[in-house]
Structure 1
Amino acid sequence: MATRVNGKVVTPTGVIRQGCVELDGGRITAVAEYPSVRDGHWIVPGFVDMHTHGGGGDTFTTGDAEQARRAADFHLRHGTTTLLASLVSSPFALMRAATEAFAPLVAEGVLAGIHFEGPYLSAARCGAQNPEFLRDPSTDELAELIELGDGAVRMVTLAPERDGALEAVKLLTAHRVVAAVGHTDATYDQTRAAVAAGASVGTHLFNGMRPVHHREPGPVVALLDAPNVVCELVADGVHLHDGMLAFATSTAGPERAALITDAMAAAGMPDGDYELGGQAVTVAGGVARLARDGAIAGSTLTMDEALRHAVAAGIPIADAVRMAATTPARAIGLGDRLGALQVGLRADLVVLDDELNVVRVMRGGSWVE
């Protein structure tokens, strides 16, 4: 049965101020002007979070399927209709176990895939990653995980300066797995080599990366400058100054900048003590930091908050929505199925009030309770 949702419709090409989205059978069948609409809510595509470790008190990082289901449900209520379950650096046994546990959730559609953030990362730029688990990339490990997941493994973040990194990038891209550059002390040239090998995402740009220097631009400039690389940005005012958020967005353009949460279990929860990858985390004032050294340990962000923050930082709403849905969907290979209010795509949408707070969420044509 056909359904129509009326309001200010945000499409990849702009805003239809008096518009409607028509859907049938879980798909969008029409996006059009609807002149009789007056002062409707914002209608935006469901958010796509390509980097989140958990939320609502539950985590993806332990490979627990029930926690993963609850964390996905928490983010769904905040408008995230598609997400990758991000792990942190772990022993291979946990990576295997998580792949086995999450593959059925990917097949079911609860998760869009698995993102391994590590363990093939830089010790010098490990941030909140557990240093005892860091190691050089292993094509044997990756090949085993890819086969075991049967399509569930969708992205792997690694540091291109580590031995074997370029071979790993080539293996990943050959199997249609996104290779991302992050937690890296790489030089500009090492980063460019990873991009040439197939890396197509910059993991939470600036954070966990060698800083920009005028005589050694490092990974940030190489990633911002690469026309086929999508740069993740954590829009929470903690990971990035709003001026840097705006700068990176204007440099890459909304078609290459993706809002992410990098959220941990503490998202949506009170301040207090938490855990991430076997390390103690303290959340105070909504900011998560490692207890041992105060390093930022993910965030307590949700995608609706990220969108509000980006708009408040001066990013036009159509661009911010593209960064929250369309660009990340394309970055993880799902742009032909979802991520925009376009005919033929899955009917995932979020209704927002004038302050951009979530009013209702639809996934696959059904309203979320």
Structure 2
Amino acid sequence: MHDPAQSPVHAQGDAPADEEVDPAAWSGVHRGPLRAGEWVRLLDGKGRRHNLCLEPGKRFFSNRGHLDHDELVGREEGFTVTSSAGGEYLVFRPLLSEFVVSMPRGAAVVYPKDAAQIVAMADIFPGAHVIEAGAGSGALTCSLLRAVGPFGRVTSYERREEFADVARRNVAQFFGGPAGETHPAWTLHVGDLAEELAGSGQRCDRMILDMLAPWECLDVAADALRPGGIVCAYVATTTQLSKFVETVRVHGGFTEPQAWESLVRDWHVEGLAVRPGHKMIGHTAFLVTARRMAPGERAPLKKRRPAPGAYGPDYDGPRPPGVPVETGVETGAETEE
């Protein structure tokens, strides 16, 4: 295990600009000239993006001619290069947010806007133990590993072997460990979280449920989470959202669940032409968080007056304590005798 006391400490401004990031930090970030074996991102004038791994003697081909990898190796990132047919490309190392939207996929990826919300609102901290189900293509896993650092732990469960293989490759590609070596904080299990975690005695600080039926894992989450820990569900539909939230309420071992979604809209800015962009990243998923109570403790019941019909005869989901079964919908209108 890396000893932070042995890492060089620099006063602000003392570190050379090209000093490499300490490999023991497992940040996935490199400084200095581009090296063979690194991934770079090419951006052309029309916004088209290309990711490629630099290999000596190889060429990149596009409809604008070719580029020799050797022309890029040894240069500081942030330069423009011209292809054989006159096409110009901007060259940078990819950011994590850029890498995850272009990575090879098995399952759908958790987009950066949602990963950022999970890291912030689930309070993922350095040294935390986070359990993730499922791993998908490894997009959220990269953000979680970046947040917990090499002294934390991320334990991922993925039911499908083919998805787990994609996640392994993507995580290895981003963090760039030596051949055969993966991030020291990451453990990936192929299997069902509810089956493998139950009775294991494993404890965690945070649990992220990115799955079709997260309510099925709520009892397991309650057993594994330390008091004060956070469960966070990532669900795509309103029916999933409703069932998970109501199941959390009925369980009683968590605080009142908080649900939200985030929408991202870019802006067009040119002189006096300042307006919302024509494209935006709209709904991708709903997020729900709740905190684990201490064993044997229950949160105070929320003083709610449900909207008429909210728990009416057509509702067949979990029913919070104290909410009566409605036999009809009250309209508030007076009736004449």
Q: State TM-score, norm by structure 2.
A: 0.27
Q: State TM-score, norm by structure 1.
A: 0.26
Which structure shows the bigger proportion of residues in helix conformation?
1
- Which of the pair has more CA radius of gyration? 2
> Structure with the greater relative contact order (CA < 8 A, sep ≥ 6): 1 or 2?
1
